[in-house]
Amino acid sequence: MEAAITILYQASQLMLIAAVVLILYRFSLGPSVFDRVVAFETIGLAVVGYLLLESNATTARLYTDAALGLALFSVVGTIFLAYFLGRGEFPDE
C-alpha cells in the first residue's frame, strides 16, 4: 500500500521533471518571445505541481504556502508580460 503510493508520487515527480526538460528545450528553440513567455509560465506551474506532490509525499506542511505564492506570481507575471508585449494594441473583437 505505502510502497504503491510512494512509487506513484515518485513517477509523478519524474514526469514533471521530464516536462520541465521538454519545456526548457522549447525555451531554447522558441522562435518568438511569446514562446519563451509561455515556457516561463509553464515552468512556474510545473514547480507548483512538484511542490504539491512533495507536500503530499513527505507530509511537510511548508510546501503548500510556497506553491500558492509561486502560482500567484507565475500567472500574474505572465499577464503583466503580455500587457507589456502587446503595448495596449490588442485587436478588436
Partner 1 sequence: MNELATPLEMVAAVLAFAGAFLFLAGAVGFLRLPDFYTRIHAPTKAASLGIPLMAFASMLVHLGGGFDLWIEDALIMLFVFLANPVSTQILVWAAVARKIRPFADTQGQPAGDSIDQPGTASITTSKDNS
What's the min distance (Å) between Cβ of 19 and partner 1? 4
Minimum CB separation of residue 50 from partner 1 in Å reads: 9
Quickly count: other Cβ atoms within 10 Å of residue 75's Cβ. Answer: 13
Three cell numbers written together for 87: 503595448
DSSP designation for 62: T
Cα–Cα distance for residue pair 92/24, rounded to 1 Å: 33
Angle formed at CA 43 by CA 16 and CA 37, multiple of 5 degrees: 150
Sites of contact with partner 1 (CB under 8 A): 1-2, 4-5, 8-9, 11-13, 15-16, 18-20, 22-23, 25-26, 31-35, 37-39, 41-42, 45-46, 48-49, 52-53, 55-56, 59, 61, 64-65, 67-68, 71-72, 75-76, 78-79, 82-83, 85-87, 89-93
C-alpha grid cell, residue 83: 500587457
Least distance between partner 1 and beta carbon 62 (Å): 10
